[in-house]
Amino acid sequence: MPTDYMYTMKCSKGEGFQQGQLSRYGNIELSPAAGVLNYGQGLFEGTKAYRKEDGRLLLFRPDQNAIRMQIGAERLCMPSPSVDQFVEAVKQTALANKRWVPPPGKGSLYMRPLLMGSGQILGLGAATEYTFLIYVSPVGNYFKEGCAPLNLYVEDEFDRASRGGTGGIKSITNYAPGLKPLSRAKNRGFSDVLYLDSANKTNLEEVSSCNIFLLKGNVISSPATNGTILEGVTRKSIIEIAGDHGYQVEERVVTVEELMDADEVFCTGTAVGVASVGGITYHDKRVEYETGSHTVSQQLHSTLEAIKKGLTEDKKGWIVEID
């Protein structure tokens, strides 16, 4: 949904990012020879603003998105905004679009920071100018299932990432190749695909736009991030929250075999929050998992949502309040 304002900040090669500014939301102009259009020199981020009952806005760990953008920028040979510049830009953009932030309990304002090589570059190389931009849109649930459990398909033909590649950063080039497996799975009635490691096709990686966890007994496991999996801000937060709740949390290699034998499975991400998985299909076998109000994933979901929406005390310093 188009909103009122976007934020733009530019940087020429060898210089830092200059003072950014808000402008009316609208199309941008780019040279046909821009690095982002020709060589995919671009990153994106995703974070959300929530409206509290008292009208103030809450951001969830925007510094983590800033840091992840810096790591990604280094990998793609781009300069990046400082953490302070990034967070300040997110704050200004959220406030400028305040009327678009849904009322408490009705959704959030999704904020999409972009960093791209906007300067011209014909021969393969880094662009000469960079643009940082934030636009926003009000959102409700990410999946059409709403809060209903997800139905995942284990993808073993297409890979998402490989060792030494860019799977660990939010490079724009990671996403278009996922459209084919995603649309194929959706056409077959699945919510999303779960990718396996490209080398062996035996270990779990992640879902198209979220990380994966499984529960067996009292142990929660998630594939370790080794450069092929995006280090989700939600993943990191859930690992901490699960530890606080007394669960043993393991970040390690997790096999498909273990997945097929898990008690519960859930996904985490800014867009999805904590979403429980009701069933997974691997080859011709479908397994089902526990879902519903008594589950661990629901417990973790409730704790995280309460923090994000300011319904509980923020003991971790994760919330940035703005008004």
Q: What residues make contact with ligand PLP under the rule CB under 6 A? A: 46, 206, 209-211, 230, 232-235, 268-270
- Kindly state the smallest distance separating residue 177's Cβ from ligand PLP, in Å: 12
Residue keyed to tokens 């995280």: 304
Single-letter residue type at 293: S
Q: Are 188 and 180 in contact (CB under 8 A)?
A: no
Which among 66, 64, 50 is positioned nearest to 132, based on CA atoms? 66
- Kindly state the smallest distance separating residue 127's Cβ from ligand PLP, in Å: 23
Q: List, in sequence order, every residue forming a beta bridge with 251; answer none if it has no partner.
A: 222
**Which entry of 10, 48, 91, 170 is annotated as an active-site residue?**
170
Q: How far is CA 98 from CA 85, 94, 167, 182, 223, in A?
A: 20, 6, 33, 33, 37
* Whole-angstrom distance, CA of residue 5 vs CA of residue 20: 13
- In the bound state with ligand PLP, the residue whose beta carbon lies nearer, of 118 and 222, is 222
- Kindly state the smallest distance separating residue 54's Cβ from ligand PLP, in Å: 26
Q: How far is CA 217 from CA 183, 261, 263, in A?
A: 34, 11, 7
170 annotated active-site: yes
- In the bound state with ligand PLP, the residue whose beta carbon lies nearer, of 46 and 165, is 46
Q: Are 196 and 157 in contact (CB under 8 A)?
A: no
Q: Which residue is nearest to ligand PLP (CB)?
A: 232
- Kindly state the smallest distance separating residue 12's Cβ from ligand PLP, in Å: 29
Active-site residue set: 170
